[in-house]
Amino acid sequence: QVQLVESGGGSVQAGGSLRLSCAASGMTTSGNCMGWFRQAPGKEREGVARIQGNGYATYADSVKGRFTISHDNAKNTLYLEMNNLKPEDTGMYYCAADLSPYARSWCPYAPMHYWGQGTQVTVSS
């Protein structure tokens, strides 16, 4: 079955950087829609970035220019490079995937069917 395992979270000061990883098994990162989401305490989960199989990426306005999503198909791993972190970036970060044919072309709108357990990111001011 599909499993997504996140790692790389931690505590950093504002302006710092982190790189999150999501190791996928039971599926391939190549050709599939994947994304990163986050949830802060007391808030709803929100999309951070998504990437289609062809490498086309979309980002939330709040992270554009600071975060970069990518995948290494040889390692079957999804990444999120986060720079210039702000306290409002604090939250649990989740990796997700949607393997449906719809998602291959409409990744920004895909509902995401598989989720990881999350990794905590805390940014202090």
Closest by CA position to 96, among listed 33, 40, 14 = 33
Q: How confident is the model over 21-70, as pLDDT tens digits?
A: 999 999 999 889 999 999 998 999 999 999 998 889 999 999 999 999 99
Kindly tell me if the per-residue pLDDT of 19 is higher than 90.
yes
Q: Quote the pLDDT of residue 65.
A: 98
Instruction: Give the model's confidence band at 117: pLDDT under 50 very low, under 70 low, under 90 confident, else very high.
Output: very high
Angle among Cα 65, 88, 42 to the nearest 5 degrees reads: 135
Tell me the pLDDT of the chain averaged across its residues: 96
Closest by CA position to 58, among listed 49, 67, 66 = 49
Q: In what order do the strands lie in the sheet with 3-7?
A: 3-7, 18-25, 77-82, 67-72
Structure token pair of residue 121: 């990111």
Kindly tell me if the per-residue pLDDT of 75 is higher than 90.
yes
